[in-house]
Chain A
Amino acid sequence: MTDNTPPQSDFLQPPKLAERILSLLLSQDDAEIVLGDFAEICNQQNSQEQANNWYWKETFHSAPTLLQHKLTRQFERSFNAMNNSMQLHNKNFLWISLLALIPALMLIIPGISQSLGYLTPNKALDNLYANAPYLEILRSPVLLLGGLLLAFLLNLLPSLNMRFERGPAGLTSVITFKPVLVHWAFIGLSLLAVGAILIYAFFENFGPI
Chain B
Amino acid sequence: MEFLTRMEEILLLTVHRLDPEAYGVTIRAAVEELLGKSVSVGAVYVPLDRLAERGYLKTSYSDPTPERGGRRKKYFKLTQDGLKILGETKALNDALWENVPSLGSAS
A2-B64, A38-B41 known; A32 vs B53 contact (CB < 8 Å) = no
Number of A-B contacts (CB under 8 A): 92
Whether A166 contacts B53 in the complex (CB less than 8 A), given A38-B41, A58-B40, comes out as: yes
- Asked whether, in the complex, the Cβ of B25 is within 8 Å of the Cβ of A166, the reply is no
Cβ–Cβ contact A65 & B43, under 8 A? yes
Type the 1/0 row for B71-97, where 1 means its CB is closer than 8 Å to any CB of A: 111100000000000000000000000
Tell whether, in the assembled complex, residue B25 and residue A2 are in contact, meaning their CB atoms are under 8 Å apart.
Answer: no
The distance in angstroms between the C-alpha atoms of A3 and B68, with both chains bound, is 10
Q: Which of A39, A62, A65, A66 contacts B69 (CB 8 A)?
A: A39
B71 touches A3 (CB 8 A): yes
Sorting the interface of chain A by its residue count into under 10, 10 to 19, 20 to 34 or 35 or more gives 20 to 34
What sequence of 0s and 1s flags, for each residue 47-76 of chain B, a beta carbon within 8 Å of any chain A beta carbon?
A: 001100110000000001111111111100
Q: Name the residue of chain A whose CB is nearest to the CB of B68.
A: A36
Residues of A within 8 A of B98 (CB): none
- A30-B49, A33-B24 known; A3+B70 contact, CB < 8 A: yes
Of all chain B residues, the one with the shortest Cβ separation from A25 is: B42
Say what secondary structure dominates the interface of chain A: helix
B16 CB contacts on chain A under 8 angstroms: none
Q: A39 and B68: CB pair below 8 A?
A: yes
CA distance A34 to B23 in the complex (A): 11
Q: Does B46 touch A at the CB level, under 8 Å?
A: yes
The CA of A9 and the CA of B63, in the complex, are separated in Å by 20
Contact mask for chain B residues 10-46; partner A; CB cutoff 8 A; 1 contact, 0 none: 0000000000000111001000000000001111011
Once A30-B49, A37-B25, A37-B45 are accepted as A-B contacts, the answer to whether A62 and B68 lie under 8 Å apart by CB is no
* Binary contact readout A48-75 vs B (1 if CB under 8 angstroms, 0 otherwise): 0000000000100111111011000000
Residue of B nearest to A171 (CB): B50
Residues of B contacting A38 in the complex (Cβ-Cβ under 8 angstroms):
41
**Complex alpha-carbon distance, A141 and B72, angstroms:** 61
A40 at the interface (CB under 8 A from B): yes
List chain B residues, Cβ under 8 A from A168: 2, 54
Are A61 and B45 interface neighbours, CB within 8 A?
A: no
- In the bound complex, residues from chain A placing their C-beta under 8 Å from that of B65 are 36, 40
B40 & A7 in contact (Cβ 8 Å cutoff): no
* Given contact pairs A37-B28, A40-B68, A65-B46, a sample of 5 additional A-B residue pairs in the complex whose CB atoms are under 8 Å apart: A3-B71, A5-B70, A30-B49, A37-B41, A41-B28
* A contact set with B: CB distance below 8 Å: 1-5, 7-8, 11, 14, 30, 32-41, 43, 58, 61-66, 68-69, 166-169
A-B contact pairs, 9 of them (CB 8 A): A1-B72, A11-B69, A32-B72, A33-B45, A39-B67, A39-B71, A41-B25, A62-B40, A169-B2
